[in-house]
Amino acid sequence: MAVIKRVLCPERLRRVPDQFSWIDHRLVRDRHIHGRSASALALYLFLVTVADGQGLSYYSDPAIGRLLPLDASGLAHARQELIAARLIAYQRPLYQVLSLGPPASPRVGQALTLGQILQQAMEPKP
């Protein structure tokens, strides 16, 4: 049986905000969140939310610690995890949320999105 989509709470329908803040769906689809700790994911969500259009944020460690349930050691570990995963860059006091890069190549038998098909069709042939 197919699930029929319907708005559950029309008075709270989500709208794109005026400020710059978004999360790329490839974070899930291309498995960038796979194997990340809850602390790293919380830090990533925080940074994506507060970053400007270039992905930059300069929240201090103490300020982040007051807003997230992370002590100094937990924050340092979460930050290193995100750096190792190439999701953020950090040079005190600046954080930069990084582009997720090109989409992962589809696996054999995996359906392609229309966007992927069009992108492949427009790529120059060797």
pLDDT in tens, 49-71: 998 888 899 999 999 999 999 99
CATH of the domain at 89: 1.10.10
Residue 117 within any structural domain of the chain: no
Cis ω before 93 (30° cut-off from 0): yes
Indicate the number of domains in the chain.
1
Average pLDDT, the chain: 84
Contact 36, 85 (CB under 8 A): yes
Residue 119 within any structural domain of the chain: no
Flag whether the pTM goes above 0.75. no
Domain assignment of residue 25, given as a range:
21-97
Residue 10 within any structural domain of the chain: no
Residue 74 within any structural domain of the chain: yes
Supply 74's token pair.
Answer: 């937990």
